[in-house]
Amino acid sequence: MNRGRLKICHICEGHSRACHFKAHRLDVHYKNDRLLRRFVTERGKIVPRRMTGTCAKGQRALVRAIKRARFLALMPYVNDSVR
């Protein structure tokens, strides 16, 4: 799902640990719910970037996509087992 040229975050460009999305050439999109569910806990919380291994730019895109997917009812706000 790569859409055009790959943009590399200038902050994480020189670091040895690459961003998860840039390393695997993944495109963060709100319709890709299978990818987004990996970054949400079973209680519905968004996992922080120190645990996901993403750069700041990638984490912002991830959070934006998760919030859009929740708003459009593609993902639940809270898991059914928590209710």
Asked if residues 65 and 30 have their Cβ atoms less than 8 Å apart, the reply is yes
Q: Is the per-residue pLDDT at 45 higher than 90?
A: yes
Written as six digits, the tokens of 27 are 């495109």
Considering Cα of 66, then 68, then 70, then 73, what sign does the dihedral take? negative
Q: What are the structural domains, with CATH classification, of the chain?
A: 28-83 (4.10.640.10)
pLDDT at residue 5, as a whole number: 55
Burial tier of 10 (Cβ tally within 10 Å: 0-12, 13-18, 19+): exposed
Model pTM? 0.73
Q: What mean pLDDT do residues 54-73 have?
A: 93
Out of 23-27, 50-54, 55-59, least confident range: 23-27
